[in-house]
């Protein structure tokens, strides 16, 4: 069916940020030019990063339940503005009646490999342990830099935690420190591989890094998918 499905709530602020980007990226001059979207915001899903690291409850049954909810809504594509959940991308894809967009693929495709970028990845510890960003970068012949687990990664963790708690100023301060460390390591490009990080980046000092916003790139891919199929045209409810 001709509507975008958004599986959100992980976390709620990141979902709202994604939806805002989706609207702003859509070429529209009136309500009827916008894309139809159905949102399942399910914040009670178990922590994805903790589960990947073996320290938390398995969220897969809840993730599959969310996919089933969007199946019942007959969406035509699904975007999930939560990076860590993509550890279970294959399982969710098998349960989905609609194609799923992969957040890491959309991000890495946005990087100019020919520019010789040295790419730092900021994400949850679980997403980094899963390795889906690293695999996508290596597949394109791109090197990457990971934050030190006892240094910058602690600041990334704090940034994510503060944004989820609504403390944006504190989150920005933590992100600034982590960015300074990435630049010291020679990074020129930063993948913001957690959808809370772009929210903090608006008030952070990123020390000249070229930012790749996972939420923005996923929104771009969602809009492109829908526009290519004419879902913004009147009569979309066919």
What pLDDT is recorded for position 117? 76
Specify whether domain 105-214 bears CATH 3.30.70.260.
no
Contact between 111 and 68 (Cβ < 8 Å): no
Q: Which of 184, 187, 193 is nearest to 213 (CA)?
A: 193
Q: 3-state class of 8 per DSSP?
A: strand
pLDDT tens for 167-225 read: 999 999 999 999 999 999 999 999 999 999 999 999 999 999 999 999 999 999 999 99
What number of other Cβ atoms are within 10 A of residue 198's Cβ?
21
233 confidence band (pLDDT: 50, 70, 90): confident
Instruction: Say which CATH architecture domain 4-102+217-228 belongs to.
Output: 3-Layer(aba) Sandwich (3.40)
Q: What whole-number percentage of the chain has pLDDT above 90?
A: 92
Same fold: 4-102+217-228 with 105-214? yes
**Token representation of residue 154:** 């602690």
Q: Which of 133, 155, 153 is nearest to 144 (CA)?
A: 133
Q: Where are the domains of the chain?
A: 4-102+217-228, 105-214
Model confidence pTM above 0.75? yes
Residue 2 has pLDDT above 50, yes or no: yes
């Amino acid at each position: 069916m001709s509507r975008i499905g958004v599986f959100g709530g992980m976390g709620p602020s990141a979902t709202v940020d994604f939806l805002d980007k989706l609207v702003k990226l859509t070429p529209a001059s009136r309500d009827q030019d916008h894309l139809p979207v159905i949102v399942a915001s399910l914040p009670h899903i178990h922590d994805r990063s903790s589960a990947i690291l073996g320290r938390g409850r398995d969220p897969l049954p809840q993730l599959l339940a969310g996919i089933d909810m969007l199946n019942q809504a007959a969406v035509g594509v699904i975007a999930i503005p939560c990076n860590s959940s993509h550890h279970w991308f294959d399982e969710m894809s098998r349960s989905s009646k609609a194609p799923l967009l992969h957040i890491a693929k959309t991000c890495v495709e946005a990087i100019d490999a020919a520019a010789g970028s040295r790419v730092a990845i900021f994400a949850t510890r679980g997403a980094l342990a899963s390795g889906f960003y690293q695999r996508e970068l290596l597949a394109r012949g791109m090197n990457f830099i990971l934050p030190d687990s006892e240094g910058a990664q602690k600041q990334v963790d704090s940034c994510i935690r503060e944004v989820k708690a609504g403390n944006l100023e504190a989150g920005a301060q933590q992100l600034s420190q982590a960015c300074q460390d990435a630049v010291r390591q020679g990074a020129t490009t930063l993948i913001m591989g957690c959808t809370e990080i772009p929210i903090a980046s608006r008030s952070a000092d990123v020390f000249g890094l070229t930012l790749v916003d996972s939420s923005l790139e996923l929104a771009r891919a969602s809009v492109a998918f829908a526009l290519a199929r004419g879902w913004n045209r009147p009569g979309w409810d066919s």
